Structure 1
Amino acid sequence: MWRKIDMENLGDLGDMSYDLEVMCRHAVDRSHGGLVEIDLRYFGTDELLEYIADRSSNLRTLRLIMCYPLADEGFVEAVVKLPLLEYLEVSHCSLSGESLKVAGQSCPNLKTLKLNSEPDPKFNDDECNDEDALAIAESMPELRHLQLFGNFLTNTGLNAILEGCPHLEHLDLRRCFNVNLSGDLAKQRFERIKEVKRPDDSIAGHPYGTFPIDFGYQYGSSDYDWY
């Protein structure tokens, strides 16, 4: 028991009479170092993530979803202690590309990365940003599954990923409106990838990428399987 912890909060922390972080710490303690998967949604701090990392060196899967208080420093201090990590999701969290690079360098077995955000479809050129893409390309060569829902990367960043991650099998670029997949890029680069979801493809089935970010939002899907 306690090898997997899934704590889904619906954003109503102010109405709770109990402390989710205290509950999570107790659950981690009960795992006695055997924790392999943890899922935190709508709550979580640097201190909690450090507590988990210090006691869960066997962790394989880490999902951090809408954990707004998390900062780069806390994330980095934790992820360097998780060398066996194979699956990382950081959705709607404010982390830099440099933090992702540290994650890739510290977790050589990383096979799946989900990095989800929610951009305005009416973007402008000032919002192009390849920082995340370049960090992924430089540090995560063993990736098989990559989801960049709503990222601001351009074709430059995408090319870097395709060159730096030669084992990619599934690539999700939905709502990455700065990417243009026409011409030779789509034909030549994607031949080895089994499944590609393009910027304008349907967002059906995406669990929390279809709404404005709102602390009062209550989403109903808990299905994370996108491949």
Structure 2
Amino acid sequence: MRRILIVEDDPAILKGLEASLGEEHYQVLSAMDGEEGYRLAREENVDLIILDIMLPRKNGDEICRDLRAEGIETPILMLTSKKEEMDKVLGLELGADDYMTKPFSVRELQARIRALLRRHKGARKEVDEYTFGDVHVDFKRQEADKAGTPVKLSAKEFEVLKYFVQHEGEVVTRNMLLDEVWGYEAYPATRTVDNYILTLRKKLEDDPAQPEHLLTAHASGYKFVKK
């Protein structure tokens, strides 16, 4: 489970971020002042830091500067209510990886977090061909068959299936799929994901009503299991 540190002194914003990131299955650590945030950033093994600029005791720019000076390369996403371009430039020059101005879209924030984590850890291994059960998929040629019989999948269905294969065994939320497959700027309805899963189950599962591979993960999303 990826660990994210939030350093934010606004209780309402902090609570909202903790809830939304928790729903996306991140482990969240938090601090409401700069000194505590700086300590956690140095002592805890976190995958990403969401850092407000205007903080008591030690501001975000100072935290970013000092972490980078110590050789800590954890991705940092800066938050601020300031709108001046120079504030953004300063944060980026001090070593921040991305920047968002309040108020911001939680969904866009989640998409940027995933992009930073991918960039930091490296891209997922490319999958050209894959077999599960009696299904064989050639993603490069966009061809699929089940028990030797060709199955027609749309380009988007191939993309959705490939994302699941690359995240085998992991819980994939609807928002993750929307952001990664459709792109967060497209903003399709979350029901779109459910419709695609239903279609893929009908085409690839032996019993779509009792799937063995494209499973529902409680109320949070889906999970692909190869078996």
TM-score by shorter chain over 0.5: no
| TM-score normalised according to structure 1 size | 0.34
What TM-score comes out, normalization by structure 2 length?
0.34
